[in-house]
Structure 1
Amino acid sequence: MDPKEFLTKHVKPGQEFLAGLISIDMVGHSKQAGADREKSETKAALEGLLKHELKNELAILLTWQGDGGIVLFDISKGCDELILFADRVRHLVPLFNRTKSILNKLPHRQEIILRIVCHAGSLVNQNGEPGELAGDALNLLAKRDREICQPGYVVLTSEIYRRLLPEFQERCLFTNEHPAFGKIYTLDGKTALCSLHYNDRSSNNLKEWITATRQQRKFDRLLYFAYTNELLYDFLAYDLEGLEVKIIARNWVAEHHDEEVYNKILLQKGSEIDIKQRQWFKSDVIKVRAKEIYEQASKMGKPLDMRFYDIPPMFNGALLESHSDSSAAFVGIIEWEEFPEEGGSPYKLEEWPAIILDGRDRIHAHFLRYLSSRFWESWNRGLTYEQVCKEEEKDEIMKPAIIGKIWKFDDLPYLLVYPCRRVSNRSFPVVAFEDLTATRLVEGFLNEYQVKVKQFNFELPEVLQGNWFPQEAEAKINDWPGHVIYICTKSLPPSLVESLLDQGFEYDVCAVGTDTPYLQHRRRKEQVLSSPTDQDPPEPRDYSLIARFRRQGRSGYGYIFAGIRAMGTWGAAEYVTDRSNLQALAHLVRDEQFVAIIETIFNPDEHRIAETRLHLAPEYFGK
């Protein structure tokens, strides 16, 4: 309705009337980037949109001051039409923002956000002129609306709320109480408006958004959720002057593990899946890009850092933050396909949809805090580039291709054999602490490789002479359908020792079960190894032999980890379960059947192994 007509025919001059008032203005208009013409045309377009929406309302737009103004409604019959109009304007803003170069002519993809505050009170129509309206409600709203506004939402005072139908009141969320306005409510206060955008494969929209958003407001830091970082690494490294950039990307070691499993399944499926599909190879790309971005940032002296997470990738996009608590985000979810038709990684970013969040919106700000917290969770739990490189080195050591030169991982189970003995005043046989510790070390190591392990202990006779090994126990060991590990010299059946010696086993295990056991080289008779613990004074050291051999007439391999004393047995187990030791030993071992001597240094004060090391290099036996 025309303002003159409203204030002369609908409300007579000199008349006092009850008015509903809506204050509408643009947030941060003075900080918007662009030429004066672009700004003024955008503001004029907004004014035109509001006037168009008011044509069929019993309401008028009072003086418009470029970035905003006040709408006056006749609320003699209630405030429902006023609230519907305010809500409609709120929902028209995203549409207005999408009409780039038509209505919203601001450059750099800038979007407008409106403050919409609704109040009511008595006004006096002094002479029919909109600028001459008088009343406390109008003055209060004009001067103090920003004290209660929430950018992006319709805020209303109790003067409006109490005049609404129940169905509208149910949509209002009580926010707080203001000393001048009274109780304050937010219409649909638990529902935010946001926009979703498709992003092309090269993430060009994300790059444009980062550039545009930085030109709208000042930000100090960019948090980037990445998977491989292969598309934006150059942009993040070169084009973001003045920003502290932090990137989280997938740990390439974790990626490589997943690749190996995935590609193995892909090849096994064969007829079900076209084996011509590309296999999954992204780990090398992640590592190369990370190295490049570090090197380039270092040359340019840029504050950029990366961490690498080991969980499956979830988010992709960027979060901008400032020290003044301003924030914004352009972030999407990475799609997962079990076996993509085109092959490659199951994690896809083809035209990925992204949600755009603006921290000036109350609910958006809450979402942004949550999003930021998940970034910092991955950051704090993630590894640095140097740490992943070390993990990669360790991973190389742990690979079955390396460790498999010592341990056999062929789906056959392992049997851990160790002795126990009767002790007076004890109801059950006992196991030496060192033997039990060695057993648990080996079992834990094999469990890491998902190898099936079973423990087997047998009771020692009182005297270890002749064919002393319990026949029933030996039969169970011989019938075991896999690999057998003998913990300590007393777990070795005499028949097994004799068989090994017949094959050319280089060391004789002598005086087992006596007070002075020792090892003697069979060809170099002068090479006798006694335990340093038997010296006077004793030394906290011991020797042990580690050996691997083919089980004669049976499946699997046999292993011996046996010290001259119990301390040496513990040390042997420590040695063969340490990845660095295994890598060194793997480079020396040239045959399946070998025997080597280990030296163990013990800390008697703390009752622990201080060091284990190879004392005599592997020697080979058998054919």
Structure 2
Amino acid sequence: MPSSDLERIAAIADPYQLIRAATERLSAAQQEVTELARLRRRIIQELHAQGISYAQIAEQAGLSRGRIHQIKHTGPAPEGAFLGTGTLTLATPLKREAGNARPVVAMEDVTAAKRLEDLARGFDLAVSLEHVPLGGDIDLNRPNLIVICGPKLSPVMAELYESDPVFEWIKDGAWTLKDRRTGQSYRSGEDSDPPRPVDYAYLGRLARPDGDGSVLVFTGIHPQGTLGVVDLLTSEIATLWGQVGDHRFSTVVAVEYDPATGEPVKAELASPLYRHEDT
């Protein structure tokens, strides 16, 4: 840690405050080390992908070739940054069910959040869980925020989705997603006649309202789609990271699911993966 931080903490007279401050600074330092290691591994991979040999990278970086190989294959994987860096905040919505005075969280949202948390921790990312409150008023102007919530439960999220330059949510009897560029509409199989065990979900990284960063958001038209997005992220996050990195984007995910359990059987992109700077 910087000497100024060390000196500041060492000068704290109250021993309990000193322990607390030292613990907080150690936690922050460990996160910084993790993200620096992730960044270093990512740059080595990118340079090698450009055709630069490990020997050349080692020479220019002042490291041995063996050390470069070691860095490339150890430490936190770069694609974890698709979710964010440091400590992620993962928000799921509270709902008011008929006949239930207490707000609840849909079981599918709980499951999706737990699986995404497990995925993030596998990339050495810390996760803090919270809820989008009843009424949907959530502060989106925070770093490393992931929100699992659609436009129905939150006017704040509805306004965020409206900022997407490609997709729009349409309520016409049932919710659908529409691609403004192609005119393609995505309607859940549950709302079709006859019903089919297929759902569609939105996945995107959108600009925060204050313009100072982005928010990763996703939700299915129905809960099965939400679970499908997590299934896709678990299996394809490296590919997604390679295509969009930390840029803003949006896409639609098609999810086939077991009608008996609601569990995803197959999840894949149903639309192009639009990078917003290209639209």
TM norm structure 2: 0.66
State the AA in 2 paired with 1:281: G
Residue aligning to 1:380? none
Report Cα offsets for 1:72-124 as digits up to 9, x if no partner: xxxxxxxxxxxxxxxxxxxxxxxxxxxxxxxxxxxxxxxxxxxxxxxxxxxxx
Larger RCO of the pair (alpha carbons < 8 Å, separation 6+): 2
State the AA in 1 paired with 2:216: Y
In 2: Cα distance, 1:541 partner to 1:584 partner: 23
Q: Structure 2 vs 1, CA of residues 595 and 280 (structure 1 numbering), >3 Å: closer, same or farther? A: same
Residue aligning to 2:176? 518
State the AA in 1 paired with 2:84: K
Structure ranking higher in helix proportion: 2
The within-5 A match list for 1:57-456 is: 281=66, 400-404=77-81, 406-409=82-85, 411=86, 413-426=87-100, 428-456=102-130
In 1: Cα distance, 2:141 partner to 2:68 partner: 44
Where 1:577 maps in the other structure, the secondary structure is helix
Residue aligning to 1:549? 206
Report Cα offsets for 1:263-308 as digits up to 9, x if no partner: 99xxxxxxxxxxx9976937969xxxxxxxxxxxxxxxxxxxxxxx
State the AA in 1 paired with 2:96: R
> Which of 190, 196, 203 is the matching residue for 1:539?
196
Offset, 1:618: 0.8
Residue aligning to 1:568? 225
Residue aligning to 1:290? none
Offset, 1:556: 4.1
Where 1:423 maps in the other structure, the secondary structure is coil
Report Cα offsets for 1:36-78 as digits up to 9, x if no partner: xxxxxxxxxxxxxxxxxxxxxxxxxxxxxxxxxxxxxxxxxxx
Residue aligning to 1:213? none
In 1: Cα distance, 2:118 partner to 2:90 partner: 12
Offset, 1:547: 0.3
Residue aligning to 1:577? 234
Mapped contact 2:83–2:144 kept (Cα < 8 A): no
In 2: Cα distance, 1:446 partner to 1:426 partner: 33
In 1: Cα distance, 2:228 partner to 2:62 partner: 49
Mapped contact 2:190–2:199 kept (Cα < 8 A): yes
Q: Structure 2 vs 1, CA of residues 436 and 583 (structure 1 numbering), >3 Å: closer, same or farther? A: same
Question: Rg bigger for which structure?
Answer: 1
Where 1:454 maps in the other structure, the secondary structure is strand
TM norm structure 1: 0.32
Find out whether 1:458 has 2:113 as its counterpart.
Answer: no
In 1: Cα distance, 2:63 partner to 2:141 partner: 46
State the AA in 1 paired with 2:187: S
State the AA in 1 paired with 2:204: A
Q: Structure 2 vs 1, CA of residues 488 and 574 (structure 1 numbering), >3 Å: closer, same or farther? A: farther
> Which of 168, 174, 180 is the matching residue for 1:508?
168
Q: Structure 2 vs 1, CA of residues 524 and 423 (structure 1 numbering), >3 Å: closer, same or farther? A: same
Residue aligning to 1:558? 215
Offset, 1:553: 2.4
Report Cα offsets for 1:470-506 as digits up to 9, x if no partner: xxx33xx2453x222121314774345445544x521
Number of residue-to-residue matches in the alignment: 222
Mapped contact 1:505–1:620 kept (Cα < 8 A): no
Offset, 1:428: 2.6
Mapped contact 1:561–1:572 kept (Cα < 8 A): yes
Where 1:431 maps in the other structure, the secondary structure is coil
Residue aligning to 1:178? none
In 2: Cα distance, 1:614 partner to 1:561 partner: 13
In 2: Cα distance, 1:538 partner to 1:547 partner: 27
Q: Which runs of 5+ in 2 are unaligned?
A: 1-33, 42-60
State the AA in 1 paired with 2:223: A
Where 2:218 maps in the other structure, the secondary structure is strand
State the AA in 1 paired with 2:243: L
Q: Structure 2 vs 1, CA of residues 424 and 501 (structure 1 numbering), >3 Å: closer, same or farther? A: closer
Mapped contact 1:420–1:429 kept (Cα < 8 A): yes
Residue aligning to 1:204? none
Percentage identity across aligned positions?
22
In 2: Cα distance, 1:403 partner to 1:507 partner: 25
State the AA in 2 paired with 1:537: P
RMSD, aligned α-carbons? 3.6
Q: Structure 2 vs 1, CA of residues 499 and 539 (structure 1 numbering), >3 Å: closer, same or farther? A: closer
State the AA in 2 paired with 1:601: E
In 1: Cα distance, 2:67 partner to 2:84 partner: 30
Find out whether 1:612 has 2:267 as its counterpart.
Answer: yes
